[in-house]
Structures are given as structure tokens and as C-alpha cells.
């Protein structure tokens, strides 16, 4: 089975959870042996793992140019010159009017999330038309709203079923005050999709109720985690026996509910003084949070180490006694699973999608700061609870693998390619 997949992020370049999820899904599919994935990325680094075909959207021609062969070969990152020429044969309209064309006839991407994001999304969609004409595939799979227009375009051109993967919706990011442009892109993508994979039942309900989709074509497809590498396993935790560390890790934005964490911290610190609170991450609410901590007089116990990269993330988990994710609305939230892999007990909000597949975590409402404080205090003071959550959590999270997710996605694919539509009632996980 050949799958044409559109994505915006892929490791090793990680901006957020999307990269990790895209990697897991493609890896899980590749383990089945007979699924060939062609993954289209705006700007790959060339250091991606080679279990799938990476297509560099920045180097897919939309305008006919005749570059020198050596020059072309030396510059291509991702796909090769053969692909380039094949793509060039499938240019479907005159795009000479476009700004920013290079000498290969391609539109460049900055990668990540630049300020002209909407323009990039549009360009991405234009290029997907070339791909849809030149590639041979059975199915289209588009990750997150940035690639929905590309997916829809590819479906229009090829007539192949479109499966879209909802990693987040604008309702989660904005606490209900949606950006109308983003909403329209999301809604259009969902309307054209034959199957909508949502990362949790919570997201599925949002898709059904806020985007008015047919429940039958929506399916909850929970994320998973990858087993830790040897290098990360070998990290020795540095723990002070007299002090406990409670960690928040993620973007410090409205969606993640950092202010509830501060409120809970204040309640805990009113009672005991051997607990430290760590805010790892950056975001638009960082300064406000520092001010809030100072206003409560707990700044000496709150630490703001900033954005954590790669190995630092795991060091952070390993050195923590409690991980808290008080998200106001979290489509899935992979962080608690990673914390559990490091043996760190997690407290998550009930408004987090990952709670649907986890039992050995403490779940509280994000606004229930008393319950959150109580749970933090309980894990810090009762070794039995810490031990139980740590051991059983690790055991539980080891069972949540991308391989299983790959199988579940595959069964959706089979339905889609077999008869052209998807019905969640016929789907058995």
C-alpha cells in the first residue's frame, strides 16, 4: 500500500509534539512491511531517518527551469534528481507570477511557523498538486491543519481517499475564541476528508460538535510513545533526598494552564517548604507567570529554566518527583507519557486526551487547584503512592506503542482503500 503523507514537522527538527507524532505514526506503519510512505515536508534537513521517502517541498518545481545537472544534484536534499525531473513533467499551470521562485523553479519554505504562515500553507497546497499528478499512491494522509489544503488538493486531483489527522484544533489553542481563517481551513479539510483521525475521543467530540462532522467518519486514534534510547535510560537522576521537585513542562501559553500550576504551588508551599516547582518551557505567558509567582511570594521556590531540548527534557523528567500537566484543553499531550517512561508520576487535567488511555495517573479538573495541590502534596509525602504510580505507570506506558497505533491506522486504511469510505462502526481497534 502506498501512502502520500503531508506533514509539517519531522525529527530531528522538532518544534512541538507534531514532529514526534508524525515520526511515530510513519514508523509504526513502516513496521508492517508493506506500507510505503511518501512523506512531504516543507523543509527537511536531510538527516531524517531513511525508512520512508522524504520529499522536500522546497525543491519540487512548479515552474519549468533547466538547471545544470551537477548543480541540481548537489543542491537536492530529500528526494533525488530523478524525482525532480518527474515532478517537472507534471507541472499543471503557469506559476511564473509567484513571488520567491528560485532558479530550480521551486518555492522556498522557511520551515517552522513563520509570520507568513498562511502564504506558506497556500504554496504547500500548490506544490501538492504537482505531487498528486506525478506520484502513484492509494491514499492521502494529511497531518494537522497546515497540510489540510494540500491534502484536499491532492484528493481533488487524484480522486484517492483522503484521511486527515487532527493533532489539535483551534478550539484547543484558543480556549474557544477561534481564528476564523484557521477555522475555515480546518473545516474545509474535514469536510473533504473521508476519514478523520483524532488523537483522542476529546478531540473527536470537538470535531463532531464544533466542526459539525459526521461521527461515522471520525475515529479516535490515540498517540503512543517510543521506548527510550539507551543513552536516555543511562541518565542518572540527581535528586536531593530532602527536597521534592514538581515539574511543569511545555509551552507556557494559555492552552497549557500554567497559572493553575502556580495557584496549586502556592497552596502546597503554604504547607511545606521542601518542595520546589520547575517551569520548563517558554511562551507568551512566561513573564506573567514569573510576576504571579513573585506576587505570591513563592518566587524563591519556583524555577524557570526556559525551553528544554532533546536530552534536557528527559533529564528534567528524571530529576522530578511529580510531573504536572494542567492543560485547559489538550488534544492528546505526549509529555505525561514521556514522564512516566522516566518513572515520574504524572498529574494531568481531565481535559487532556491522553487521560483516556492512562489509568496510573492522577486526573484532576484543570480548574480544581485544591485537588491539584492535594495530589502534588500526596505524591510528595506518601512514598507508597509515588512508588505505585512510578512502577505501575512505567509498566502501563510500556504497553502503549506506535506499533499498535500503526496497526490501527492500517485497519482504517484498509477500509478506505477497500471500499472508498470509512465507518467507525465497522472499525475494531
For another protein, the closer of residues 103 and 383 by Cβ is 383
Which residues touch 424 (CB under 8 Å, ≥6 apart)? Answer: 215, 216, 217, 218, 219
For another protein, the closer of residues 193 and 361 by Cβ is 361
Residue 132 burial (C-beta neighbours within 10 Å; 0-12, 13-18, 19+): buried
Interface with another protein by CB under 8 A: which residues? 267, 270-271, 362-363, 370, 373-375, 377-378, 381-385, 387-389, 392
Question: Looking up cell 513502516, which residue turns up?
Answer: 30
Find, among 131, 132, 217, the residue nearest to 412 by Cα.
Answer: 217
User: Which residue stretches of 175-300 are H helix?
Assistant: 180-192, 201-210, 230-233, 258-271, 286-295
User: Which residue stretches of 342-401 are H helix?
Assistant: 369-381, 383-397
Find, among 126, 165, 215, the residue nearest to 3 by Cα.
Answer: 165
For another protein, the closer of residues 81 and 378 by Cβ is 378
d(CA 269, CA 292): 14
Q: What is the CA radius of gyration of the chain?
A: 23
For another protein, the closer of residues 174 and 381 by Cβ is 381
Residue 345 to residues 160, 200, 353: CA-CA distances in angstroms?
44, 21, 17
For another protein, the closer of residues 86 and 267 by Cβ is 267
d(CA 285, CA 426): 44
- Quote the least distance from Cβ 379 to another protein, whole Å: 8
For another protein, the closer of residues 10 and 386 by Cβ is 386
3-class state of residue 248 by DSSP: strand
- Quote the least distance from Cβ 209 to another protein, whole Å: 24
For another protein, the closer of residues 53 and 360 by Cβ is 360
For another protein, the closer of residues 207 and 264 by Cβ is 264
Residue 350 burial (C-beta neighbours within 10 Å; 0-12, 13-18, 19+): middle
3-class state of residue 401 by DSSP: strand
> Phi then psi for 279, rounded to 5 degrees?
-105, 95
For another protein, the closer of residues 374 and 403 by Cβ is 374
Amino acid at each position: 500500500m502506498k501512502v502520500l503523507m503531508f506533514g509539517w514537522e519531522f525529527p530531528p527538527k522538532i518544534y512541538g509534539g507534531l514532529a514526534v507524532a508524525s515520526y511515530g505514526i510513519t514508523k509504526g506503519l513502516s513496521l508492517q512491511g508493506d506500507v510505503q510512505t511518501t512523506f512531504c515536508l516543507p523543509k527537511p534537513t536531510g538527516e531524517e531517518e531513511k525508512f520512508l521517502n522524504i520529499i522536500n517541498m522546497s525543491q519540487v518545481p512548479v515552474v519549468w527551469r533547466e538547471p545544470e545537472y551537477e548543480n541540481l544534484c548537489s543542491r537536492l536534499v530529500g528526494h533525488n534528481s530523478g524525482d525532480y525531473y518527474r515532478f517537472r513533467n507534471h507541472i499543471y499551470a503557469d506559476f511564473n507570477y509567484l513571488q520567491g521562485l528560485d532558479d530550480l523553479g521551486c518555492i522556498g519554505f522557511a520551515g517552522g511557523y513563520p509570520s507568513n504562515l498562511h502564504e506558506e500553507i497556500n504554496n504547500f497546497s500548490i506544490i501538492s498538486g504537482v505531487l498528486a499528478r506525478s506520484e502513484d499512491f492509494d491514499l492521502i494522509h494529511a497531518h494537522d491543519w497546515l497540510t489540510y489544503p494540500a491534502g484536499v488538493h491532492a484528493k481533488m486531483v487524484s480522486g484517492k481517499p483522503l484521511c486527515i489527522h487532527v493533532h489539535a484544533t483551534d478550539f484547543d489553542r484558543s480556549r474557544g475564541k477561534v481564528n476564523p481563517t484557521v477555522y475555515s481551513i480546518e473545516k474545509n479539510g474535514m469536510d473533504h476528508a473521508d476519514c478523520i483521525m483524532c488523537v483522542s475521543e476529546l478531540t473527536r467530540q470537538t470535531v463532531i460538535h464544533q466542526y459539525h462532522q459526521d461521527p461515522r467518519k471520525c475515529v479516535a486514534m490515540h498517540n503512543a510513545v517510543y521506548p527510550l534510547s539507551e543513552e536516555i535510560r543511562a541518565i542518572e537522576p540527581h535528586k536531593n533526598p530532602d527536597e521534592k521537585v514538581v515539574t511543569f513542562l511545555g509551552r507556557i501559553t494559555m492552552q497549557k494552564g500554567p497559572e493553575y500550576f502556580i495557584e496549586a504551588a502556592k497552596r502546597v508551599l503554604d504547607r511545606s517548604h521542601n518542595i520546589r516547582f520547575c517551569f520548563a518551557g517558554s511562551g507568551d505567558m512566561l513573564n506573567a507567570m514569573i510576576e504571579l509567582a513573585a506576587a505570591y511570594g513563592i518566587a524563591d521556590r519556583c524555577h524557570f529554566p526556559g525551553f528544554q531540548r532533546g536530552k534536557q527534557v528527559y533529564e528534567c523528567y528524571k530529576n522530578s518527583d511529580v510531573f504536572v500537566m494542567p492543560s485547559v484543553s489538550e488534544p492528546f499531550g505526549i509529555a505525561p507519557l514521556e514522564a512516566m517512561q522516566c518513572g515520574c508520576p504524572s498529574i494531568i487535567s481531565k481535559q487532556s486526551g491522553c487521560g483516556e488511555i492512562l489509568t496510573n495517573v492522577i486526573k484532576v479538573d484543570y480548574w480544581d487547584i485544591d485537588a491539584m495541590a492535594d495530589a502534588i502534596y500526596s505524591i510528595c509525602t506518601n512514598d507508597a503512592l509515588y512508588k505505585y504510580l512510578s512502577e505501575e505507570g512505567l509498566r502501563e506506558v510500556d504497553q502503549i506503542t506506535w506499533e499498535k497505533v500503526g496497526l490501527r491506522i492500517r485497519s482504517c486504511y484498509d477500509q478506505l482503500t477497500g471500499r472508498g469510505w470509512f465507518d467507525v462502526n465497522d472499525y475494531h481497534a
